[in-house]
Amino acid sequence: MSPQFPISPEDWARTPPVVRALVIKLWREMRSAQKAPAPPSEEDLDGQTPPSFLDEPEMDTGVSRADFHRPPPDRRKAFWSGQADPTAAPAPEALKGGEQTGMGRDGEAAKLKALARGEQSDPPRVPAEATKMPVDEQAVEALYQRAYGFVEEVVLAARAGQPFTVEVAFAIVARIVGLEGAMDLFYKRAIYARESSGEGPGFYEAVITHSVNVGIYVLRVGEGLGLSSHRLIDLGVAALLHDVGMARLPDSIIEKKGKLTDAEMAELRRHPQYGYDILSQLGSDTLWLAEVALQEQEREDGSGYPKGLKGDHIHEYARIIAVADCFAGLTRSRPDRRGMMPFEAVRFILQNQRSLLNPRILRVLLTRLTAFPLHTEVRLNSGVVARVVETHEAQPLRPCVEILCDAQGNRLDPPRIIDLREMPILHITEVI
C-alpha 426/C-alpha 354 separation (Å) is 28
Q: Determine the Cα angle at 236 with ends 234 and 241, to 5°.
A: 95
Q: What is the mean pLDDT of residues 222-235?
A: 94
CA atoms of 71 and 69, how far apart (whole Å): 6
> Is 0.85 topped by the overall pTM?
no
> 330 and 266 in one domain?
yes
154: helix, strand or coil: helix
Question: What average pLDDT does range 221-237 have in this prediction?
Answer: 94
pLDDT over 90 percentage in the chain: 39
| Same-domain pairing of 151 and 169 | yes
Q: What is the C-alpha to C-alpha distance for residues 210 and 47, in angstroms, rounded to an integer?
A: 62
Q: State yes or no: pLDDT of 299 exceeds 60.
A: yes
Max CA pair span of the chain: 93
Examine the domain organization and report whether 227 and 149 are in the same domain.
yes
Same domain (yes/no): 252, 169: yes
For residues 124 and 169, state if they share a domain: no
CA distance 305 to 149: 29
CB 282 within 8 A of CB 166: yes
In a domain, 59, yes or no: yes
- The answer to whether the beta carbons of residues 366 and 225 sit under 8 Å apart is no
Same domain, yes or no: 327 and 409: no
Whether 364 and 233 map to the same domain: the answer is: yes
Q: Are strands 377-380 and 385-390 parallel, antiparallel or unpaired?
A: antiparallel
Contact 304/272 with Cβ under 8 angstroms? no
Q: Is residue 321 in some structural domain?
A: yes
Segment among 38-47, 339-348, 375-384, 393-402 with least mean pLDDT: 38-47
55-79, pLDDT tens digit by residue? 444 444 344 434 433 334 444 344 3
Does residue 42 form part of some domain?
yes
223: domain CATH number is 1.10.3210.10
**271 and 191 in a common domain:** yes
How many domains does the chain contain in total?
A: 3
Of the candidates 343, 368, 393, which is a domain's last residue? 368
Q: Is residue 2 part of a domain?
A: no
Query: Where does residue 235 rank: exposed (0-12), middle (13-18), buried (19+ CB within 10 A)?
Result: buried
Co-location of 337 and 306 in the same domain? yes
Sign of the CA dihedral with 222 first, then 227, 230, and 234 last: negative
User: Is the pLDDT at 49 greater than 60, yes or no?
Assistant: no
For residue 390, the enclosing domain spans 377-431
